[in-house]
């Protein structure tokens, strides 16, 4: 269930029982991320990073790990697609990652 409208909705609730029942019958579930349904039964979308947000929310609601793979091999000081010799960071603290995200780094969606 989502709150809001097209491209601006937020996940309000996930019923884990729906997924638990499906997992009893199937080993793998394919879930279309990035979308939900609001109180008016309208299809809504979550906006940028919505598929990753969906994956994390589903994992959290079922208390399972979530692994998201991307096209880069780590966190860089700058975007390696723009600066080919960008320095890969060996360690990034939670606080640094949140600051990078707040400043617009695309490596983390919040």
- pLDDT of 12-28, one tens digit each? 999 888 888 998 999 98
Q: Domain residues for 98? A: 72-103
> Tens digits of per-residue pLDDT, 2-14?
998 888 899 999 9
In this predicted structure, what is the pLDDT of residue 94?
Answer: 85
Residue 108: Cβ within 10 Å count: 14
Number of domains in the chain: 2
Say which DSSP state 57 is in. H
Listed in sequence order, the residues at least 6 apart from 10 whose beta carbon sits closer than 8 Å to its beta carbon are: 2, 3, 4, 46
User: Is residue 108 one of the residues assigned to a domain?
Assistant: no
Beta-carbon contacts of residue 33 (< 8 Å; ≥ 6 apart): 46, 50, 51, 52, 53, 54, 55
The tens digit of pLDDT for each residue in 48-92 reads 888 889 998 998 888 888 887 777 788 888 888 888 899 999 999
Answer for the pair 43, 35: CB distance below 8 angstroms, yes or no: yes
pLDDT of residue 31: 87
Q: Are residues 78 and 56 both part of a single domain?
A: no
């Amino acid at each position: 269930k989502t709150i809001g409208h097209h491209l601006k909705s937020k996940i309000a609730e996930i019923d884990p029982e729906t997924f638990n029942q499906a997992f009893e019958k199937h080993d793998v579930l394919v879930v279309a991320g990035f979308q939900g349904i609001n109180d008016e039964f309208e299809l809504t979308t979550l906006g940028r990073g919505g598929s990753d947000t969906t994956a994390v929310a589903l994992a959290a609601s079922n208390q399972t790990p979530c692994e998201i793979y991307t096209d880069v091999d780590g966190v860089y000081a700058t975007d390696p697609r723009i600066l080919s010799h960008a320095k890969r960071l060996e360690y990034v603290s939670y606080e640094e990652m949140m600051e990078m995200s707040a400043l617009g780094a695309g490596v983390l969606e919040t």
